[in-house]
Chains A and B, each alone.
Chain A
């Protein structure tokens, strides 16, 4: 089974709708992240969390919110989706391991806002 899972894998929604993307991990990591990826722009950080009570804004948090329901679960919400939020969204986890802060990424969710 995959260590980091994301649901749904693909979603098409209409402008103004609320949508939630979910992420679960079985790695036991404290740190979880949400990124979006657009062609030619790499990955940009939306929000990150170092434990259940810790939520931090990233580079592009406007229009998004998150919830860390448990150590293993981190969800991303778009309260009122707009077309320029069409992108590939990735969840990632990390923990300090032998001096490395490698991030483990989920398979991604492709979101299309029409």
Chain B
């Protein structure tokens, strides 16, 4: 498959544990955020989004937390599984989804 993010920060977690992936965003005017998952050899896939008028949103096994005071976004994955191994990107938009700025990504490695 394709090599993506050879020099990314890496988070290693045991299978079954919870994972927390962090993202510091740059623009205090950003009003919309998305987390993407990218598996080797594939394009990014949507996980969950959150608007700036919210501080928490939950999906299936995932939770996104937004702290606008410190411009910080996190993605929590419950009961991490081997299939969660991938690179995770946060993306911010200051024009409500017209275009996005992506973070550099974090590689999640799930240990058996």
Contact = CB atoms under 8 A, between A and B. Distances in A.
B8 A40 contact: yes
A104 B4 CA distance: 18
Interface residues of B, number: 30
Does more than half of chain B's interface fall in helix, strand or loop, or is it mixed? loop
Nearest to A35: B102
Interface centre among A58, A92, A108 (most CB of B within 10 A): A108
Given A42-B104, A43-B89, A88-B2, A100 B44 contact: no
Interface in A47-69: 48, 50, 56, 58-59
Interface residues of A, number: 33
Contact of A40 (B45, B97, B104): B104
Given A39-B4, A42-B105, A58-B99, A108 B43 contact: yes
Does more than half of chain A's interface fall in helix, strand or loop, or is it mixed? strand
Contact of B46 (A43, A88, A103): A103
B42 interface: yes
A29 interface: no
B4 A43 contact: no
Contact of B100 (A103, A106, A107): A103
Nearest to A50: B98
Contacts, number: 73
B104 A106 contact: no
Contact of B4 (A88, A101, A107): A88
Interface centre among B8, B93, B99 (most CB of A within 10 A): B99
Contact of A110 (B2, B49, B93, B103): B2
Contacts of A105: 43-45
B2 A44 contact: no
Interface of A: 4, 31, 33, 35, 37, 39-45, 48, 50, 56, 58-59, 88, 90, 92, 94, 96, 99-108, 110
Interface of B: 2-8, 32, 34, 41-46, 49, 51, 89, 91, 93, 96-105
| A-B CB proximity, top 5 nearest | A101-B97, A105-B43, A42-B102, A102-B46, A43-B102
